[in-house]
Structure 1
Amino acid sequence: MKTATFTEKRKFIVKLGKMLHKYGTPAYRLEAHLMEVATYLDLKSSFVMSPTSVTFVIWTDGHEDEYTHVARVDPGDHDLGSLADTDDLVNKMLNGELTLHDVDKQLDIIFDAPNPYNKVLTGIAFATSGGAFAMLMGTSWNDVLWSGLLTFIVYLFVLWSTRSKRVAHMLEPLVAIISAILACAISVYIDAHINIRLIVLSAIIVFIPGLALALGLAELAARHLVSGTARVMDSFMLLFKLYFGAFIGIAIGFALFGQADFVQPEPLPKWTAWLAIFLLCSSLIVIFRTKLKHATWSIASGFIAYGTSIGSAMYLDYTLGTFVG
């Protein structure tokens, strides 16, 4: 490990940093992690990470060798399974269980590995997430059914975006507009029992940047102001695109099909909220590519958050209860 050349070490650090960034690691954790690795490799280092750029400055103790690497990168996706695998490899290296060359080869395998969940399973997860969110809102089985169907249609656009850069750039407002138009058509011609705005929200719930916004606020709290501000503003812009896409889509739908008189359906029983939590957390395991060995903790965290929120709301204001959850 210590006998590796400076070139091998700095190439490894740059590769590791870009991979961790790609998998959605927040800036403060990423910089601290890379600095720990560099120190282990007997190197001095400084890193500046943001959602759209990475800067690596690496040098030896006596400044015999120095290296600076700056790159423009795309904001990372949330690939929790690959992130966990990468962290495990680095920890094994830091504990002396693996050499730098072994870890470097394993990083290539992780980088080239396909999605552990196939397209069919991912599509089912998308549909389940939309239906489960509608169920969590306690509306009706009509809303649950149509929310799941529209979310699956949204997933077809997600698949299209992987083949078309134009679709990828306008994906969020596009799916919001399409979902809203289809919801208006369904309410007029098929099912007047649906809550249009709720099923549109349910159909695009997977795009709501809750995790990204939480990471941005965490970065701001850790005094990583540039990265935190950029991530928070990106989250707000995504919310704006979804909101205005849904607003425009509903306006187009009403103009094309008119408005049907809403027929109040039977509400869901209260116990379905707990089923919704299970289904929603299970679907997010697939969407975020979480490893199956972490699935239990992922589902448990959803139940803990929801249960704490409901329990706190009995003694505090409802909003404060949600905050505690």
Structure 2
Amino acid sequence: MTAHARDTASYTERIAFVVDMAMHLHAYGTTTQRLEGAIVAVAKQLSLECEPWVNPTGMILAFSDPLRPAGESDTTRVIRLEGGDTNLYKLCEADRIAEDVLSGRMQVAEGRAALRELRRPPGRRGMAMQLLGFALASAAVAGLLRLPWLDIGTAGAIGLVIGVLDLAAQSRPRLHEAFEAICGLVAGAMAIAVSALVGPLNLNTVIIASLIVLLPGMALTNAMNELTSRHLVSGTARFAGALTTILKLTIGTAIALAVADGLGIEPDVEAARPQPEWVVWTALVVGAYAFAVLFRAHRRDYPLVMAAAAAGYLISRYGGEWVGPQAGLFLSALATTAAGNAYARWRNRPGALVRLPGLIMLVPGSVALRGVITLVQAQDLGAGQDAALAALNTLMALLAGLLFGNLLVSARRNL
């Protein structure tokens, strides 16, 4: 930051800017180690000393002025926050605003005003796009799994209904608390109804595909990443939150299955993967577009986000055919992380634009949910053991890829 900008901004104004920036980055899904690193870096540029402590639902920021005697200017902010949700557009905007303030192109007060502008809720077009993203993501995952057309259509329809529930839950706290369980119940009920009244389905796979947007695979990966970086409290909390989400989804699905059994409704279940290769490629394009929408990227960044999502899947698929599935996941995570860091260095923008989309189709949430559903249905610990082991192997492969990707190409900064 320029000396002039430092001099014109008071101590409290600089603290307020750092707090606002930290709250925005937390809201956009930044992991603890990256967020704390960004807070310290920005505070240092603003001639502040800051000791941050961040967890998934809040943060404590302790500030002091290094130019004044120790203890004279100490200020502590304790902030309670909701869990973050990925928003690539607002993440990029917050990053740009911070850069402008630090370089002197924008005053601190102007930076705070620009950050406040990012709090505006999405309009009707944004909400409609989110509904479309839910439906397309569920249908695309069913297509990637080569499910029959009825399965793909059912998954897409359930995804659309879940999107409607997601919008409703944002303004209804009581619905928000039970949101995942309700979605699991709706997904199970709709899939059972279609299989019983219309035609046979790959029942569990359709349910998982329809819930794909809600699965906490990225949260599980971030939790392990935080634990390995010694952010033990945050990593443990995020891991517990991810497991709770999986349990709530399973509870809803189990209730739907139990009610159907009690009513004598027998779903028609089959195991069929008949789709040709062109359906998989089409589903890959549709899925990449859906995640660009769901990650709320700016339209100019859609090609980049879609390319990253498709590349992550393709490296995993063909790398898995070449050296084995877990090694394929490792190679994909390695390439995605290194590419994200390289992009951040090249374009001076957040590497999350490449890193997050590239990892989204690799995360282990679907494997974990399948294991828990199988365990509940069979009431046998051994029934879900293979799926649990597969989820653990997937987590380890992704984590190794993230760690070595950061070693291969170091990040420009924390975002």
Question: Structure 2 CA distance, aligned partners of 1:129 and 1:303?
Answer: 13
Secondary structure of 1:149 counterpart: helix
Check conservation: 1:117, 1:289, Cα contact below 8 A: no
Q: Cα distance 1:173–1:148, how it changes in 2: closer, same or farther (>3 A)? A: same
Indicate whether 1:2 and 2:9 are aligned: no
Match of 2:164 among 152, 156, 160: 156
After superposition, the C-alpha distances for 1:75-123 in whole angstroms (9 at most, x for unaligned) are: 1121221111001111122222222122111111112253595222221
TM-aligned CA deviation for residue 6 of structure 1: 1.0
Deviation of 1:310 (Å)? 1.9
Match of 2:192 in 1: 184
Q: 2-side partners of 1:276 and 1:155: how far apart?
A: 19
Using the TM superposition, name which of 202-211 and 95-104 deviates more. Answer: 95-104
Q: Indicate yes or no: 2:78 matched with 1:81.
A: no
Corresponding residue number in structure 1 for 2:260: 253
What is the letter of the counterpart of residue 196 of structure 2? V
**TM-score, length of structure 2 as denominator length:** 0.74
1:110 corresponds in structure 2 to 118
* In 1, Cα distance between equivalents of 2:65 and 2:92: 29
Contact 1:131 1:145 in 2 (8 A): yes
The answer to whether the aligner puts 1:59 opposite 2:64 as a matched pair is yes
Structure 2 counterpart of 1:45: 50
Letter in 2 for 1:225: L
Written as runs of structure 1 = structure 2, the 5 A alignment for 1:238-317 is 238-262=245-269, 267-317=274-324
> Alpha carbons of 1:6 and 1:144: their partners in 2 closer, same or farther (altered >3 Å)?
same
When the two structures are superposed, what TM-score results if normalisation uses the length of structure 1?
Answer: 0.93
Does the 8 Å contact 1:6/1:65 carry over to 2? no
Amino acid in structure 2 at the alignment position of 1:87: D
Alignment check: 8 A CA contact 1:128 1:280 kept: yes
Does residue 130 (structure 1) correspond to residue 138 (structure 2)? The answer is yes
From the superposition, tell whether residues 266 and 89 of structure 1 become closer, same or farther in structure 2 (CA, over 3 Å). closer
Aligned match of 2:23: 18
Contact map agreement 1:182 1:253 (CA 8 A) in 2: no
Q: Give the structure 2 partner of residue 205 of structure 1.
A: 212
Aligned to 2:361: none
Which letter maps to 2:249? L
Secondary structure of the structure 1 residue equivalent to 2:50: strand
Whether 2:24 is the aligned partner of 1:30: answer no
**Cα deviation digits, residues 3-49 of structure 1 (max 9, x gap):** 21111111111111111111111111111111111111111111101
Q: Is this contact kept in 1: 2:139–2:209, CA < 8 A?
A: yes
In the alignment, is residue 140 of structure 1 matched against residue 148 of structure 2? yes
Query: How many angstroms does 1:160 deviate by?
Result: 2.0
Q: Secondary structure at the match of 1:2?
A: helix
Tell me by how many angstroms 1:251 deviates. Answer: 2.4
Let me know the Cα RMSD of the aligned residues.
1.9
Identity of aligned residues (%): 26
Amino acid at match of 1:187: S
Size of the aligned set, in residue pairs, is 324
* Greater Cα offset, 138-147 or 117-126: 117-126
**1:145-182: per-residue Cα shift (whole Å, max 9, x none)?**
11111111111211221232111100001110111012
Give the 3-state SS of the residue equivalent to 2:306 in structure 1.
helix
Q: Does 2:200 match 1:196?
A: no
Cα pair 1:180 1:253 within 8 Å, conserved:
no
Distance 1:210 1:297 in 2: 22
Which residue of structure 2 lines up, in the alignment, with residue 168 of structure 1? 176
User: Structure 2 CA distance, aligned partners of 1:137 and 1:164?
Assistant: 34
Per-residue deviation, 1:244: 2.7
- The superposition leaves residues 183-202 of structure 1 with CA deviations (integer Å, 9 ceiling, x where unpaired) of 11111112x23222122111
CA contact (8 A) 1:117 1:286 kept: no
Q: Deviations over 1:182-238 (max 9, x none)?
A: 211111112x23222122111111101122222222222222121112112211211
Q: CA deviation at 1:60?
A: 0.8
State how far apart, in whole Å, the 2-side matches of 1:115 and 1:229 are: 35
- Structure 1, unmatched stretches of 5+, are none
Equivalent of residue 95 in structure 1, options 103, 110, 114: 103
